[in-house]
Amino acid sequence: MFDLLVTETNRYAAQVLANKIDTLKLHSRVNNWKNVDTSEMRAFISILFVMGLSKKPSYESYWSRWQRHFQPDREVSVDESMIAYKSQTGLLQYMPNKPHKWGIKSWGLADSRTGYMWNWQVYTGRQEGGRPHGLTYEVVTSLCQPLYGKGHHVYMDNFFISPTLFQELSDNQTGACGTLRAYRLDVPQPVKDARPKAGDDPHLFRDNEFLYITWTEKRKVNLLTSIHNGSCFFKRVRSKASPNCFREVRKPKAVQLYSQHMGGVDLADKQLQYNMVLHRCCRWWKKVFLYLMELSFNNALVIFKAANPGKRVNSEKFTLVIATKFLEGYDRLGVVKPGHPAASLERPARLTARHFPGKTQENKNKGKMSCNDCVVCSNRTARRHQTTFICKSCNVYMCPVPCFERYHSLVNYRITCNPGLHD
Protein backbone atom coordinates (compact mmCIF):
# COMPACT_ATOMS: atom_id res chain seq x y z
CA MET A 1 0.00 0.00 0.00
CA PHE A 2 2.79 2.44 0.88
CA ASP A 3 4.63 1.68 -2.36
CA LEU A 4 1.44 2.49 -4.28
CA LEU A 5 1.02 5.79 -2.38
CA VAL A 6 4.62 6.78 -3.13
CA THR A 7 4.33 5.90 -6.82
CA GLU A 8 1.07 7.79 -7.35
CA THR A 9 2.20 10.81 -5.30
CA ASN A 10 5.38 11.23 -7.33
CA ARG A 11 3.49 10.66 -10.58
CA TYR A 12 0.92 13.30 -9.66
CA ALA A 13 3.71 15.76 -8.77
CA ALA A 14 5.35 15.19 -12.13
CA GLN A 15 2.05 15.91 -13.90
CA VAL A 16 1.54 19.14 -11.93
CA LEU A 17 5.09 20.34 -12.67
CA ALA A 18 4.69 19.56 -16.36
CA ASN A 19 1.40 21.44 -16.61
CA LYS A 20 2.55 24.50 -14.64
CA ILE A 21 6.15 24.83 -15.80
CA ASP A 22 5.43 28.07 -17.69
CA THR A 23 3.21 29.67 -15.02
CA LEU A 24 5.05 28.93 -11.76
CA LYS A 25 6.24 31.94 -9.82
CA LEU A 26 9.89 32.24 -8.83
CA HIS A 27 9.34 31.53 -5.13
CA SER A 28 6.57 28.95 -5.50
CA ARG A 29 7.04 26.03 -3.11
CA VAL A 30 6.31 23.69 -6.02
CA ASN A 31 9.81 24.50 -7.31
CA ASN A 32 11.24 22.81 -4.21
CA TRP A 33 9.44 19.53 -4.80
CA LYS A 34 11.47 16.36 -4.29
CA ASN A 35 10.12 12.88 -4.84
CA VAL A 36 9.01 11.13 -1.66
CA ASP A 37 10.06 7.66 -0.56
CA THR A 38 8.41 4.98 1.55
CA SER A 39 9.90 6.14 4.86
CA GLU A 40 8.60 9.69 4.32
CA MET A 41 5.13 8.39 3.44
CA ARG A 42 5.03 6.23 6.57
CA ALA A 43 6.10 9.25 8.63
CA PHE A 44 3.36 11.37 7.04
CA ILE A 45 0.69 8.77 7.90
CA SER A 46 2.11 8.60 11.42
CA ILE A 47 1.69 12.38 11.83
CA LEU A 48 -1.92 12.15 10.65
CA PHE A 49 -2.69 9.51 13.27
CA VAL A 50 -1.11 11.55 16.06
CA MET A 51 -2.97 14.68 14.93
CA GLY A 52 -6.20 12.81 15.64
CA LEU A 53 -5.28 12.56 19.33
CA SER A 54 -5.10 16.31 19.84
CA LYS A 55 -7.47 18.31 17.66
CA LYS A 56 -6.29 21.84 16.90
CA PRO A 57 -7.93 24.66 14.93
CA SER A 58 -5.22 24.53 12.27
CA TYR A 59 -2.13 22.62 11.15
CA GLU A 60 0.17 25.28 12.45
CA SER A 61 -1.17 24.72 15.97
CA TYR A 62 0.38 21.43 16.30
CA TRP A 63 -10.24 -2.32 0.66
CA SER A 64 -9.65 -6.21 0.07
CA ARG A 65 -6.99 -6.01 2.78
CA TRP A 66 -9.86 -5.71 5.26
CA GLN A 67 -11.44 -9.01 4.18
CA ARG A 68 -8.21 -11.00 4.42
CA HIS A 69 -7.55 -10.31 8.10
CA PHE A 70 -10.96 -10.59 9.77
CA GLN A 71 -13.93 -12.90 9.47
CA PRO A 72 -17.20 -11.23 10.54
CA ASP A 73 -19.78 -12.87 12.79
CA ARG A 74 -22.96 -14.34 11.35
CA GLU A 75 -24.79 -11.01 11.71
CA VAL A 76 -23.65 -8.19 9.42
CA SER A 77 -25.34 -4.97 8.32
CA VAL A 78 -25.41 -2.93 5.12
CA ASP A 79 -25.93 0.81 5.30
CA GLU A 80 -24.94 4.11 3.72
CA SER A 81 -22.39 6.49 5.18
CA MET A 82 -21.36 10.07 4.53
CA ILE A 83 -17.81 11.43 4.21
CA ALA A 84 -18.12 15.06 5.28
CA TYR A 85 -17.15 17.34 2.36
CA LYS A 86 -18.47 20.61 0.92
CA SER A 87 -16.16 21.55 -1.96
CA GLN A 88 -17.14 21.17 -5.59
CA THR A 89 -17.18 17.64 -6.97
CA GLY A 90 -19.51 15.57 -9.10
CA LEU A 91 -19.78 13.11 -6.18
CA LEU A 92 -21.28 15.66 -3.76
CA GLN A 93 -24.53 14.51 -2.13
CA TYR A 94 -27.02 16.12 0.27
CA MET A 95 -28.62 13.91 2.94
CA PRO A 96 -30.60 15.97 5.49
CA ASN A 97 -31.04 13.07 7.93
CA LYS A 98 -27.32 12.43 8.36
CA PRO A 99 -25.05 14.15 10.96
CA HIS A 100 -22.93 15.39 8.03
CA LYS A 101 -25.54 16.61 5.57
CA TRP A 102 -23.10 17.41 2.73
CA GLY A 103 -20.46 15.02 1.56
CA ILE A 104 -19.49 11.98 -0.50
CA LYS A 105 -21.85 9.05 -0.06
CA SER A 106 -20.53 5.54 0.38
CA TRP A 107 -21.89 2.08 1.07
CA GLY A 108 -20.52 -0.28 3.66
CA LEU A 109 -20.94 -3.82 4.99
CA ALA A 110 -19.87 -4.04 8.62
CA ASP A 111 -19.80 -6.62 11.38
CA SER A 112 -22.82 -5.87 13.59
CA ARG A 113 -21.09 -6.63 16.89
CA THR A 114 -17.72 -4.88 16.48
CA GLY A 115 -18.28 -2.29 13.74
CA TYR A 116 -15.50 -3.80 11.60
CA MET A 117 -15.92 -2.41 8.07
CA TRP A 118 -15.56 -5.59 5.99
CA ASN A 119 -16.52 -4.27 2.55
CA TRP A 120 -16.90 -0.74 1.21
CA GLN A 121 -17.51 1.21 -1.98
CA VAL A 122 -18.04 4.84 -2.88
CA TYR A 123 -21.15 6.05 -4.71
CA THR A 124 -20.08 7.39 -8.10
CA GLY A 125 -23.47 8.53 -9.37
CA ARG A 126 -25.69 7.26 -12.15
CA GLN A 127 -24.27 4.81 -14.64
CA GLU A 128 -24.78 4.85 -18.38
CA GLY A 129 -27.34 2.29 -19.45
CA GLY A 130 -28.96 2.20 -16.01
CA ARG A 131 -29.18 -0.77 -13.67
CA PRO A 132 -31.60 -3.61 -14.51
CA HIS A 133 -32.62 -4.23 -10.89
CA GLY A 134 -32.03 -0.77 -9.47
CA LEU A 135 -29.22 0.87 -7.53
CA THR A 136 -29.91 -0.62 -4.09
CA TYR A 137 -30.11 -4.16 -5.48
CA GLU A 138 -26.67 -3.86 -7.09
CA VAL A 139 -25.15 -2.20 -4.01
CA VAL A 140 -26.24 -4.95 -1.61
CA THR A 141 -25.40 -7.84 -3.92
CA SER A 142 -21.93 -6.48 -4.73
CA LEU A 143 -21.14 -5.90 -1.04
CA CYS A 144 -22.48 -9.31 0.03
CA GLN A 145 -21.13 -11.38 -2.86
CA PRO A 146 -17.89 -12.42 -1.03
CA LEU A 147 -20.08 -13.80 1.79
CA TYR A 148 -22.35 -15.91 -0.42
CA GLY A 149 -22.77 -19.52 0.66
CA LYS A 150 -21.44 -18.99 4.20
CA GLY A 151 -24.75 -18.65 6.06
CA HIS A 152 -24.51 -14.99 7.06
CA HIS A 153 -27.51 -12.88 8.08
CA VAL A 154 -27.60 -9.42 6.49
CA TYR A 155 -29.58 -6.60 8.13
CA MET A 156 -30.52 -3.44 6.22
CA ASP A 157 -33.05 -0.62 6.35
CA ASN A 158 -36.00 0.10 4.06
CA PHE A 159 -33.88 2.06 1.58
CA PHE A 160 -32.37 -1.19 0.27
CA ILE A 161 -35.00 -3.88 0.78
CA SER A 162 -37.15 -5.45 -1.92
CA PRO A 163 -38.53 -8.99 -2.36
CA THR A 164 -36.36 -9.39 -5.48
CA LEU A 165 -33.20 -8.65 -3.49
CA PHE A 166 -34.20 -11.10 -0.74
CA GLN A 167 -34.73 -13.80 -3.34
CA GLU A 168 -31.24 -13.23 -4.75
CA LEU A 169 -29.68 -13.47 -1.28
CA SER A 170 -31.73 -16.56 -0.42
CA ASP A 171 -30.63 -18.29 -3.63
CA ASN A 172 -27.04 -17.81 -2.44
CA GLN A 173 -27.59 -19.19 1.09
CA THR A 174 -27.57 -15.75 2.71
CA GLY A 175 -30.35 -14.74 5.10
CA ALA A 176 -31.70 -11.20 5.32
CA CYS A 177 -33.90 -9.02 7.50
CA GLY A 178 -34.96 -5.39 7.44
CA THR A 179 -37.69 -2.82 7.43
CA LEU A 180 -39.77 -2.57 4.27
CA ARG A 181 -41.50 0.14 2.29
CA ALA A 182 -44.89 -1.34 1.57
CA TYR A 183 -45.27 0.36 -1.81
CA ARG A 184 -42.26 -1.50 -3.29
CA LEU A 185 -42.86 -3.75 -6.31
CA ASP A 186 -43.74 -7.38 -5.60
CA VAL A 187 -44.93 -6.64 -2.03
CA PRO A 188 -48.11 -8.75 -1.46
CA GLN A 189 -51.37 -6.84 -1.23
CA PRO A 190 -52.25 -8.13 2.30
CA VAL A 191 -49.07 -6.49 3.57
CA LYS A 192 -50.02 -3.18 1.96
CA ASP A 193 -53.52 -3.36 3.46
CA ALA A 194 -52.47 -4.35 7.01
CA ARG A 195 -53.09 -1.58 9.57
CA PRO A 196 -52.77 -2.93 13.11
CA LYS A 197 -53.33 -0.56 16.02
CA ALA A 198 -51.02 -0.02 18.97
CA GLY A 199 -51.37 -2.97 21.35
CA ASP A 200 -52.68 -5.35 18.66
CA ASP A 201 -50.88 -8.56 17.78
CA PRO A 202 -48.59 -8.24 14.77
CA HIS A 203 -49.98 -9.14 11.36
CA LEU A 204 -48.03 -11.98 9.77
CA PHE A 205 -48.00 -12.99 6.13
CA ARG A 206 -45.93 -15.90 4.85
CA ASP A 207 -44.78 -15.97 1.19
CA ASN A 208 -42.76 -19.16 0.65
CA GLU A 209 -39.58 -18.72 2.74
CA PHE A 210 -40.20 -15.01 3.41
CA LEU A 211 -42.17 -13.66 6.37
CA TYR A 212 -43.80 -10.21 6.31
CA ILE A 213 -44.47 -8.68 9.75
CA THR A 214 -46.59 -5.56 10.29
CA TRP A 215 -46.58 -4.27 13.85
CA THR A 216 -47.56 -0.97 15.50
CA GLU A 217 -46.25 0.54 18.71
CA LYS A 218 -45.80 4.28 18.28
CA ARG A 219 -45.94 3.97 14.51
CA LYS A 220 -46.40 1.16 12.03
CA VAL A 221 -43.39 -0.98 11.16
CA ASN A 222 -43.20 -3.29 8.14
CA LEU A 223 -40.52 -5.97 8.36
CA LEU A 224 -39.39 -8.56 5.84
CA THR A 225 -37.27 -11.49 7.00
CA SER A 226 -36.05 -14.83 5.71
CA ILE A 227 -34.38 -15.89 8.98
CA HIS A 228 -37.01 -15.35 11.73
CA ASN A 229 -40.42 -16.63 12.67
CA GLY A 230 -43.41 -14.74 14.04
CA SER A 231 -42.73 -15.39 17.75
CA CYS A 232 -43.16 -12.50 20.21
CA PHE A 233 -42.05 -11.61 23.73
CA PHE A 234 -43.15 -9.11 26.34
CA LYS A 235 -40.95 -6.07 26.77
CA ARG A 236 -41.16 -3.55 29.62
CA VAL A 237 -41.16 0.04 28.36
CA ARG A 238 -41.63 3.46 29.98
CA SER A 239 -45.11 4.99 29.95
CA LYS A 240 -46.21 8.17 31.72
CA ALA A 241 -49.86 7.11 31.46
CA SER A 242 -49.30 3.90 33.45
CA PRO A 243 -49.60 3.90 37.27
CA ASN A 244 -46.01 2.76 37.85
CA CYS A 245 -44.64 4.57 34.73
CA PHE A 246 -44.02 1.24 32.98
CA ARG A 247 -46.08 -1.06 30.82
CA GLU A 248 -45.55 -4.31 28.96
CA VAL A 249 -45.57 -4.47 25.16
CA ARG A 250 -45.84 -7.62 23.07
CA LYS A 251 -43.07 -7.21 20.53
CA PRO A 252 -41.99 -9.50 17.67
CA LYS A 253 -38.54 -11.00 18.24
CA ALA A 254 -37.61 -10.24 14.64
CA VAL A 255 -38.10 -6.49 15.27
CA GLN A 256 -35.93 -6.67 18.40
CA LEU A 257 -33.15 -8.55 16.58
CA TYR A 258 -33.28 -6.06 13.72
CA SER A 259 -32.73 -3.19 16.18
CA GLN A 260 -29.86 -5.12 17.78
CA HIS A 261 -27.93 -6.02 14.62
CA MET A 262 -28.67 -3.17 12.19
CA GLY A 263 -26.11 -0.66 13.46
CA GLY A 264 -22.77 -2.11 12.30
CA VAL A 265 -21.94 0.70 9.86
CA ASP A 266 -23.21 3.35 12.30
CA LEU A 267 -20.99 1.81 15.00
CA ALA A 268 -17.97 2.08 12.70
CA ASP A 269 -18.76 5.76 11.97
CA LYS A 270 -19.19 6.41 15.70
CA GLN A 271 -15.82 4.87 16.53
CA LEU A 272 -14.14 6.99 13.84
CA GLN A 273 -15.13 10.16 15.69
CA TYR A 274 -12.94 9.36 18.70
CA ASN A 275 -9.60 9.78 16.88
CA MET A 276 -10.59 11.33 13.57
CA VAL A 277 -7.78 13.05 11.71
CA LEU A 278 -8.17 16.83 11.51
CA HIS A 279 -7.35 17.40 7.88
CA ARG A 280 -9.12 19.93 5.71
CA CYS A 281 -8.93 19.07 2.04
CA CYS A 282 -9.80 20.80 -1.20
CA ARG A 283 -9.49 17.56 -3.17
CA TRP A 284 -12.24 14.99 -2.79
CA TRP A 285 -9.89 12.06 -3.31
CA LYS A 286 -7.77 13.19 -0.36
CA LYS A 287 -10.86 13.20 1.81
CA VAL A 288 -11.77 9.69 0.68
CA PHE A 289 -8.22 8.48 1.32
CA LEU A 290 -8.21 9.88 4.85
CA TYR A 291 -11.61 8.30 5.51
CA LEU A 292 -10.31 4.91 4.35
CA MET A 293 -7.21 5.35 6.49
CA GLU A 294 -9.40 6.03 9.54
CA LEU A 295 -11.50 2.95 8.74
CA SER A 296 -8.31 0.91 8.47
CA PHE A 297 -7.23 2.12 11.90
CA ASN A 298 -10.62 1.22 13.38
CA ASN A 299 -10.45 -2.22 11.76
CA ALA A 300 -6.96 -2.73 13.15
CA LEU A 301 -8.23 -1.87 16.63
CA VAL A 302 -11.07 -4.40 16.27
CA ILE A 303 -8.59 -7.10 15.20
CA PHE A 304 -6.31 -6.30 18.15
CA LYS A 305 -9.20 -6.58 20.61
CA ALA A 306 -10.29 -9.87 19.04
CA ALA A 307 -6.74 -11.23 19.33
CA ASN A 308 -6.48 -10.12 22.99
CA PRO A 309 -9.86 -10.96 24.58
CA GLY A 310 -10.38 -9.53 28.02
CA LYS A 311 -7.53 -7.03 27.66
CA ARG A 312 -8.37 -3.38 28.11
CA VAL A 313 -7.27 -1.38 25.08
CA ASN A 314 -6.75 2.39 25.12
CA SER A 315 -7.33 3.76 21.63
CA GLU A 316 -4.95 6.71 22.19
CA LYS A 317 -2.07 4.43 23.19
CA PHE A 318 -2.91 2.16 20.27
CA THR A 319 -2.67 5.17 17.93
CA LEU A 320 0.73 6.14 19.34
CA VAL A 321 2.06 2.59 18.91
CA ILE A 322 1.02 2.55 15.25
CA ALA A 323 2.44 6.03 14.66
CA THR A 324 5.75 5.03 16.28
CA LYS A 325 6.01 1.93 14.11
CA PHE A 326 5.38 3.97 10.96
CA LEU A 327 8.23 6.31 11.95
CA GLU A 328 10.78 3.49 12.12
CA GLY A 329 13.41 3.95 9.42
CA TYR A 330 12.60 7.60 8.79
CA ASP A 331 15.80 9.71 8.62
CA ARG A 332 15.23 13.12 10.19
CA LEU A 333 18.74 14.36 9.28
CA GLY A 334 18.86 17.12 6.74
CA VAL A 335 15.27 18.32 7.21
CA VAL A 336 15.32 22.10 7.49
CA LYS A 337 12.83 23.94 9.69
CA PRO A 338 11.27 27.16 8.34
CA GLY A 339 12.58 30.49 9.55
CA HIS A 340 16.12 30.79 10.93
CA PRO A 341 17.20 27.35 12.20
CA ALA A 342 20.34 26.74 14.17
CA ALA A 343 23.50 26.31 12.14
CA SER A 344 23.83 22.65 13.25
CA LEU A 345 20.48 21.81 11.63
CA GLU A 346 21.08 23.58 8.33
CA ARG A 347 21.47 21.34 5.27
CA PRO A 348 24.94 21.96 3.78
CA ALA A 349 25.03 23.60 0.36
CA ARG A 350 27.15 20.72 -0.94
CA LEU A 351 24.04 18.48 -0.63
CA THR A 352 21.65 20.80 -2.49
CA ALA A 353 23.49 22.79 -5.21
CA ARG A 354 24.58 21.61 -8.66
CA HIS A 355 28.15 20.23 -8.78
CA PHE A 356 30.56 19.24 -11.58
CA PRO A 357 33.98 17.59 -11.34
CA GLY A 358 37.09 19.11 -12.87
CA LYS A 359 40.89 19.24 -12.64
CA THR A 360 42.87 21.85 -10.79
CA GLN A 361 44.48 24.58 -12.91
CA GLU A 362 47.28 25.30 -10.46
CA ASN A 363 50.83 24.30 -11.50
CA LYS A 364 53.82 23.40 -9.39
CA ASN A 365 57.47 23.53 -10.37
CA LYS A 366 58.42 21.68 -13.57
CA GLY A 367 54.87 22.22 -14.97
CA LYS A 368 53.24 19.36 -13.14
CA MET A 369 49.52 19.50 -12.15
CA SER A 370 48.89 20.53 -8.54
CA CYS A 371 47.41 17.87 -6.22
CA ASN A 372 46.14 17.84 -2.64
CA ASP A 373 44.60 15.57 -0.02
CA CYS A 374 41.11 14.19 -0.83
CA VAL A 375 38.63 15.69 1.61
CA VAL A 376 36.72 12.38 1.76
CA CYS A 377 39.19 9.48 1.93
CA SER A 378 42.56 10.98 2.87
CA ASN A 379 43.71 10.55 6.48
CA ARG A 380 47.25 11.60 7.38
CA THR A 381 47.28 9.39 10.50
CA ALA A 382 45.98 6.26 8.72
CA ARG A 383 46.31 6.39 4.91
CA ARG A 384 46.94 9.55 2.93
CA HIS A 385 45.53 9.93 -0.58
CA GLN A 386 46.08 12.87 -2.92
CA THR A 387 44.19 13.80 -6.10
CA THR A 388 44.24 16.38 -8.89
CA PHE A 389 40.43 16.42 -9.18
CA ILE A 390 38.24 19.07 -7.58
CA CYS A 391 34.58 20.07 -7.41
CA LYS A 392 34.22 23.23 -9.51
CA SER A 393 31.43 24.58 -7.28
CA CYS A 394 32.89 23.73 -3.87
CA ASN A 395 36.58 24.20 -4.90
CA VAL A 396 37.49 21.18 -2.79
CA TYR A 397 39.85 18.35 -3.72
CA MET A 398 38.24 14.91 -3.95
CA CYS A 399 38.59 11.68 -5.90
CA PRO A 400 36.12 11.28 -8.78
CA VAL A 401 35.06 7.77 -7.65
CA PRO A 402 33.52 7.24 -5.16
CA CYS A 403 34.39 10.31 -3.13
CA PHE A 404 32.66 12.88 -5.37
CA GLU A 405 29.29 11.17 -4.92
CA ARG A 406 29.75 10.58 -1.16
CA TYR A 407 30.66 14.22 -0.52
CA HIS A 408 27.55 15.55 -2.30
CA SER A 409 25.01 13.00 -1.04
CA LEU A 410 25.90 12.08 2.55
CA VAL A 411 25.99 14.12 5.73
CA ASN A 412 28.74 11.91 7.20
CA TYR A 413 30.83 11.45 4.09
CA ARG A 414 34.29 10.64 5.57
CA ILE A 415 35.83 7.23 4.75
CA THR A 416 39.32 5.75 5.08
CA CYS A 417 41.13 5.03 1.82
CA ASN A 418 41.90 1.38 1.05
CA PRO A 419 43.38 -0.43 -1.97
CA GLY A 420 40.00 -1.36 -3.49
CA LEU A 421 38.13 1.90 -2.80
CA HIS A 422 38.80 3.54 -6.18
CA ASP A 423 38.43 0.49 -8.43
Q: What is the pLDDT of residue 111?
A: 93
C-alpha 148, offset from chain centre: 26
Other beta carbons less than 10 A from residue 161's beta carbon = 27
Report residue 52's pLDDT band, with 50, 70 and 90 as the boundaries: low
Q: What is the pLDDT of residue 223?
A: 92
**Rg of the Cα trace of the chain?**
33
Q: Does residue 402 have a cis bond before it (omega within 30 degrees)?
A: yes
**What totals of helices (H) and strands (E) does the chain contain, helices first?**
11, 16
Q: What is the pLDDT of residue 49?
A: 72
Q: What is the pLDDT of residue 61?
A: 45
Report residue 320's pLDDT band, with 50, 70 and 90 as the boundaries: confident
Instruction: Calculate the average pLDDT of the chain.
Output: 82
Percent of the chain whose predicted confidence (pLDDT) is above 90: 21
CA distance 148 to 371: 78
DSSP label at residue 368? P
CA distance 145 to 313: 33
Q: What is the pLDDT of residue 261?
A: 92
Q: What is the pLDDT of residue 348?
A: 67
Report residue 205's pLDDT band, with 50, 70 and 90 as the boundaries: very high
* DSSP output for 237-272: EE-TTSTTSEEEEEEEHHHHHHHHHTTHHHHHHHHH
* DSSP output for 184-234: STT--HHHHH--PPTTSPPEEEEETTEEEEEEESSSEEEEEESS--S-EEE
